[in-house]
Amino acid sequence: MRPKPTPQELEQYLYREARLIDEKRWDEWAGLFVEEGEYWVPASRGQPDPDNHVSLVYERSLLRDIRLKRYNHPNAMSLQPQPYSVHLISNVMLDSYDEDSGLCVVNSRFIMLEYRRNEQLTYGGATTHTLEAAGESWKIRVKKVELVNCDSALGSIQIYF
């Protein structure tokens, strides 16, 4: 049994995760996920599942591998110049914690700036992390990102929220 995580512990975990994205430390970031960990950005509000409805992104390890490897591909036209991001994470709340399974669900809010070639785009939304206990820390089972404007016509999004 593991004690209930403190707000500060969760905040630091989410800050670090976001920082790994902003600093493009992709191997470390991918290492935060469990083997089949999901990253899901629904395309509509309240979307029940990723199989019967389109999503902006629905990735598990295979697609994550492909995306991350592509970041270093010399001929990725849309990554020249590179995009850069800054995440602000806030409103971190523990939604549920199961002592027996060590599974916790954390809700937070974010603003992300994605900058590329003289254009800065702003995204915001709510993120739900389903984390499972792994040693002293946590691994991500699901990271679900609900963009406030998920159903609008968006331009290219090239960085993780």
Partner 1 sequence: MTYSNQDIAEMIRESAVDRRVYIDPEIFELEMERIWGKAWIYIAHESQIPGPGDFFTTELARQPVLLVRQNEDTFNLFFNRCAHKGTKVLELESGRASLIRCGYHGWTYKTDGSCHSITGGEEAYKSLGLTKASPCMSLGRLPRVDSYRGFIFASLAPEAPDLRTWLGPTATSIDNMVDRSPEGKLEITGGVLRYRHDSNWKLFVENLNDMMHAMIAHQSSAQTARVIGNRLFPKGMTPPPEVQILAPFAEDKDFFESMGIHAFENGHSYSGGKTSIHASYSGIPEYEEAMKKAYGKERTNEILSLNRHNTIVYPGFTCKGAIQTIRVVKPVAVNETVIESWTLRLVGAPGEMLHRSILYCNLINSSANIVGPDDYEAYHRIQHGLQTEGRRWVANARYLGAETPNEEGGYSATGSSDMVFRNQFRAWLGYMVDDRAGSRERAS
**Contact positions vs partner 1 (CB under 8 A):** 41, 43-44, 47, 50-58, 62-63, 65-67, 69-70, 73, 75-79, 151-158
Nearest-approach distance from CB 155 to partner 1, in angstroms: 5
For residue 65, which amino acid is it? D
Cα 158 to Cα 67, 112, 114, distances in angstroms: 10, 12, 8
**Rounded CA gap, 72 and 86, in Å?**
20
Nearest-approach distance from CB 38 to partner 1, in angstroms: 13
Nearest-approach distance from CB 67 to partner 1, in angstroms: 5
Q: Which is nearer to partner 1, 94 or 121 (CB)?
A: 121
With the CA atoms of 125, 54, 83 and 90 taken in that order, what torsion angle do they form, in degrees rounded to the nearest 10?
10
Q: Which is nearer to partner 1, 133 or 147 (CB)?
A: 147
Q: Which is nearer to partner 1, 8 or 152 (CB)?
A: 152
